[in-house]
Amino acid sequence: MSVFEPARPPEIAGIAAHQLTSTGQRWVLIKGLRVIGAEDVWAQLSHRLSIDDLVVVGDFLVTGDQPYSGIPPSSTIDRMAAAVRRHGRRRGVRDLRCALERIRYGSMSPQETRLRLALIDAGLPEPKLNMRVVDPEGRLLALIDLAYPEHRVAIEYLGDHHRREKSTYRNDIARREMLSDLGWSVIFVTGGDHLTTAAHRVRRALLRSSPGEIAPNPV
């Protein structure tokens, strides 16, 4: 439980109480409870989470399920930036600034974010996230998790549910075959793959597509 200055935090058994300085934090109502907005909670976690974890949370907050459902996400890049400014010079602000620069709209899972960061850290270009592939009539054929459309390279991260659910597994195979027929090189990455190794596989696919445009070794 938190209160804003000059109110004093309550002393109640079993309650962790805090006193906050009002700096323009956004608040929302959830089931009748007044709570701090998601981006300010993210900023408050800066001294508990690594930079990569802050990026993972940030990607989710600015994306949510919108690429599929159309429902607006919990926050925006502008709101995240405002939360960093409100954080001032408090502990963790440097990590917040580093994370903010790496947050992107479009990631649909923590591992998609981690894979994107691994590709960038390996010196590869930034991939497009959940890129739509449509037929000539504009009908959606696929949402590619991470894509390099200019090289026709698609990367799909497959969580364990892709293996356990028969229909999902079959749809994955059908989507890969469809994309291959359209001229894409499709790379599947799973939880058993080291992300550095996955980045090497992506680099090789990009080199096959456009020799000379991609550095042959990690930067």
Residue range 114-169, pLDDT digits in tens: 999 999 999 999 999 999 888 888 888 888 999 999 999 999 998 655 455 677 77
Report the pLDDT value the prediction gives residue 6, as an integer from 0 to 100: 87
Residues 52 and 93 in one domain: yes
From CA 195, how far away is CA 117, in angstroms rounded? 9
Residues 116 and 160 in one domain: yes
Report the pLDDT value the prediction gives residue 212, as an integer from 0 to 100: 60
From CA 218, how far away is CA 209, in angstroms rounded? 17
Mean pLDDT of 173-192: 88
Residues 32 and 94 in one domain: yes
Coil, strand or helix at 67:
helix
From CA 109, how far away is CA 107, in angstroms rounded? 6
Does position 9 have pLDDT exceeding 80, yes or no? yes
Report the pLDDT value the prediction gives residue 158, as an integer from 0 to 100: 86
Report the pLDDT value the prediction gives residue 219, as an integer from 0 to 100: 45
Residues 125 and 190 in one domain: yes
Residues 136 and 198 in one domain: yes
Residues 131 and 79 in one domain: no
Report the pLDDT value the prediction gives residue 215, as an integer from 0 to 100: 62
The pTM of the full predicted model, rounded to 2 decimals, is: 0.84
From CA 113, how far away is CA 146, in angstroms rounded? 10
Residues 127 and 70 in one domain: no
> What residues make up the domain containing 192?
107-219
The CATH number of the domain where 115 resides is what? 3.40.960
* pLDDT (tens digit per residue) in 196-211: 999 999 999 999 987 6
Domain end point (choices 89, 104, 119): 104
Report the pLDDT value the prediction gives residue 163, as an integer from 0 to 100: 53
Residues 217 and 113 in one domain: yes
Residues 48 and 120 in one domain: no
Domain end point (choices 80, 104, 128): 104
Residues 188 and 214 in one domain: yes
Measured in degrees and rounded to the nearest 5, phi and psi for residue 35 equal: -130, 155
Residues 59 and 76 in one domain: yes
Mean pLDDT of 99-113: 95
Residues 34 and 51 in one domain: yes
Cα dist from 112 to 4, 64, 170, whole Å? 37, 13, 21
Domain end point (choices 104, 132, 148): 104
Cβ burial of 36 (10 Å; 0-12, 13-18, 19+) is: middle
What is the domain count for the chain? 2
